[in-house]
Amino acid sequence: MCGIIGILSKDPSLPLATITYECLTRLEYRGYDSVGVAALGEKGIEVRKAKGSVEEFAKKYNVFNMRGEVFLGHTRWATHGQPTDYNAHPHLDCSGSIAVIHNGTIRNFVELKEELISLGHKFKSETDTEVIPHLVEEFKKRGMDTFTAFKTAISSLKGTYAVLAVVKGEKRIYFAKNFNPLVIGLGEKAIFISSDIPSFLPYTKTIVAVQNGDVGYVSENQIYIENNGVAVDVRERVHQVDWDASSASKEGYEHFMLKEIYESPEAVMDTIYGMDSDRTVEEVVKRLEESKRVIVVAAGTSYHAGLYFSMLLQRYGYTSISVVASEFYNVKTNPDDTVIAISQSGETLDVILAIRRFKEYGSLVVSLTNVIESAVARESDFKLYTRAGPEIGVAATKTFTSQLGALVYLWAKLVGEKVNLEKVGEVIRGSLNLSGEARKVGEELSKKENAYYLGRGLGVPLAMEGALKIKEIAYIHAEAYPAGESKHGPIALVSKGFPVVFVNTGELFEELQSNVQEMKARGAVTFGISVNRKLNTDREILLNVEDERLNPFAVAPIIQLIAYYASVSRGLNPDRPRNLAKTVTVE
């Protein structure tokens, strides 16, 4: 995800740089690792761009003194190429007279880039986006007018995009959309074209909807759009935003958390494809094979994903220990150990401190983060990534499921299991289709102050994550145990009406069933999240999964939805749980 904004001024007195800055701050939720602005004036195009936040960037590069009649602004979430100054958008062609910003992924950029290089084009970044200005330049060189060149460039792209381009000497913004969001705002003094409506809402409430397959341009007195070569009647696309569009970035959902849970299928599949095309994975597998022990270090939700991975390895004879990051000092690693450090943000201080210590001991460190070139990644020997995109809800959801995706992928490669991970998306969707059931369990739990989450085997880390989620956002005191352990203490608390949630991944089924009976005998209200076979709890969600190795992908969305609905029915805001921050950068 990235945020893009283009502004074309109709009034020379308009402080365009300041307006661009304001729009960018409102788009920053879509990506916050680097920023860039292009100003198109009489003399040509000036680009300023850098790694960092919008505020830091604007101050450091004094964006406010940029002058021009057309501005492009971009806030980036890196997917191809690290967040660096040179990878930040806008990107230019060889001559510096075409500037492009882009949100999306160009799947065939490698081939396009090779071809362009063979034609003599010089590239300055590692991004997929940079092929676009060079393509336009190339087609213009061959005698096409700019719009034809732009259209031809767009038609050679495979992938998803919302693209904006400006060309020296033309007071226009060219645009194209395929899946990534784009919308035009018609102001009295300026025309906007952006990733979302709220970014320009203070300036205009008249919008023009842009649809998939649209390509066109805006100029001072014209909006031109065509789709499939046919000109669109723009008047049909004009709407007055007569409603409160301030929450439009949630795309219809009441909370980012729910939206993000529903984004899980794509997030996990992108992660798996990312692992598939990442050569680092092979290298990591080789190192893991040679390691004496695999030490997994992480905090919170990431720790549960790590624990799941650790257990998978142990079952195949590997010695693997999972360590809570803040407790790293309890573990002495050795040079023949490999450390897997997991952190969504890649900025978790406890994880960074653990890495530093383990590196001192001479161990190899492999990181798994959701942010390219994050602090954790930078301090590691090998960098692996989940590709879940930015997560705004404080509680980790799609990023947890993506971590599981990356780790199951790694495990399968390491132990030589043939797992059809192509199916993961459908497994997750299968659970999302059962969200009514999860809502019911969530509503029931919302009336309770305490709960147990019990599981066996690989169900244990998932139970732990379920308990954490409901603590975090619904403020229900929940504890997770291996179900067999419940007799050794926890059961003392169980009395009439005490809720117990069983995570039943099918392992040790009979034993788990007798745990259910024990709890029922003491008056507990029992809930089940069961894969393929019912435990006969009082209320049970049955998930059908063909390949049991994909079980966690079915269970993860359900435990998240249960917590979400428990929170919502308590009247809480799950996006902003009290006392919690998305990224923990303190000890």
Partner 1 sequence: MKAVVLAAGKGEGLFPFTQKEQKESITVLGKSVISYVLEGIKKAGIREAVVVVNENGKQVQESVNVDLSLEFVEQKRPGITGAVKDGMEKVGEDFLLAFGDVIADPEFYVSLMNIYAMGARAVFSLVPVYEGLQTYGLAKIVGDRLEVVKEGSTLALAGAYILPYGDFDDLLEYFSRISPMAKYFIWSGNWIDIGFPEDLINAVEMLLKSAKTIVSNNATVSKTALIGKGVIIEDGAVVEDYAVIKGPAYIGRDAYVGSYSLVRDYSSIEEKAVVGAYCEVAHSLIEPYAEIGSKSYVTYSVIGKGARLGASVITSNYPAVIVRGKVNKLGALISSGENISHGSVLPPNFKK
Residue 255 is a binding residue for partner 1 (CB under 8 A): yes
Cα angle vertex 160, ends 154, 161, to 5°? 60
Of 39 and 268, nearer to partner 1 (C-beta) is 268
Q: Which of 65, 221, 240, 579 binds partner 1 (CB under 8 A)?
A: 240
Residue 212 is a binding residue for partner 1 (CB under 8 A): yes
Of 324 and 432, nearer to partner 1 (C-beta) is 432
Catalytic-role residue among 250, 423, 448, 582: 582
Report, in Å, the least distance between residue 248 CB and partner 1. 4
Of 70 and 438, nearer to partner 1 (C-beta) is 438
CA 415, chain centre distance (Å): 28
Q: Which of 144, 234, 241, 324 binds partner 1 (CB under 8 A)?
A: 241
Residue burial 526-563, b: 16+ Cβ < 10 Å; e: rest? bbbbbbbeebebeebbebebeeebbbbbbbbbbbbbbb
Report, in Å, the least distance between residue 254 CB and partner 1. 5
Which residue has 């409102």 as its token pair?
Answer: 26
Q: Which of 221, 228, 236, 586 binds partner 1 (CB under 8 A)?
A: 236
Which residue has 């990356």 as its token pair?
Answer: 406
Cβ within 8 Å of residue 483, ≥6 positions away = 454, 455, 456, 459, 502, 511, 512, 515
Residue 27 is a binding residue for partner 1 (CB under 8 A): no
Edge-to-edge order in the sheet of strand 319-324: 319-324, 293-298, 337-343, 364-369, 382-385
Q: Determine which helix (DSSP H) or strand (DSSP E) holds 217, and give its type and residue range.
A: strand 214-219
The rounded distance, in Å, linking the Cα atoms of 33 and 206 is 31
Half-sphere exposure of 482 (CA within 13 A, CB side): 9
Q: How many positions of this chain bind partner 1 (CB under 8 A)?
A: 46
Of 181 and 466, nearer to partner 1 (C-beta) is 181
Residue 210 is a binding residue for partner 1 (CB under 8 A): yes
Report, in Å, the least distance between residue 106 CB and partner 1. 19
The rounded distance, in Å, linking the Cα atoms of 443 and 525 is 13
| Tokens, residue 165 | 């381009």
Catalytic-role residue among 2, 23, 51, 471: 2
Binding mask 400-429 for partner 1 (x = CB under 8 A): -------------------------xx--x
Q: Which of 242, 360, 510, 587 binds partner 1 (CB under 8 A)?
A: 242
Of 92 and 441, nearer to partner 1 (C-beta) is 441
Q: Which of 253, 361, 382, 475 binds partner 1 (CB under 8 A)?
A: 253
Strand spans (E) along 279-373 = 293-298, 319-324, 337-343, 364-369
Convert 61-102 into a string of H (helix), E (strand) and C (coil). Answer: CCHHHCCCCEEEEEEECCCCCCCCCCCCCCEECCCCCEEEEE
> CA nearest 442: which of 583, 350, 566?
566
CA distances from 153 to 120, 157, 164, 322, 431 (A): 17, 7, 12, 49, 40
Among the listed ranges 11-19, 153-161, 248-256, 336-344, the one in contact with partner 1 (CB under 8 A) is 248-256
Residue 437 is a binding residue for partner 1 (CB under 8 A): yes
Helices 300-315 and 398-415 cross at an angle (nearest 10°) of 20
Report, in Å, the least distance between residue 419 CB and partner 1. 20
Contact predicate 159/105, CB 8 Å: yes
Among the listed ranges 257-265, 361-369, 407-415, 484-492, the one in contact with partner 1 (CB under 8 A) is 257-265
Among the listed ranges 63-71, 107-115, 207-215, 473-481, the one in contact with partner 1 (CB under 8 A) is 207-215
Q: Which of 80, 168, 171, 239 binds partner 1 (CB under 8 A)?
A: 239
Among the listed ranges 87-95, 178-186, 366-374, 513-521, the one in contact with partner 1 (CB under 8 A) is 178-186
Of 517 and 544, nearer to partner 1 (C-beta) is 544
User: Is 487 known to be catalytic?
Assistant: no
Which residue has 């060309």 as its token pair?
Answer: 167
Residue 438 is a binding residue for partner 1 (CB under 8 A): yes
- Give the footprint of partner 1 on residues 132-161 (CB under 8 A): none
User: Is 582 known to be catalytic?
Assistant: yes
The rounded distance, in Å, linking the Cα atoms of 357 and 459 is 31
Report, in Å, the least distance between residue 458 CB and partner 1. 25
Among the listed ranges 52-60, 94-102, 209-217, 300-308, the one in contact with partner 1 (CB under 8 A) is 209-217
Residue 381 phi/psi, 5-degree rounding, is -80, -35
Residue 94 is a binding residue for partner 1 (CB under 8 A): no
The rounded distance, in Å, linking the Cα atoms of 575 and 250 is 11
Among the listed ranges 24-32, 242-250, 348-356, 415-423, the one in contact with partner 1 (CB under 8 A) is 242-250
Q: Which residues bind partner 1 (CB under 8 A)?
A: 177, 181-183, 196-197, 207, 209-212, 214, 236, 239-245, 247-248, 251-255, 258-259, 262, 425-426, 429, 432-440, 564-565, 568, 571
* Residues with catalytic function: 2, 582
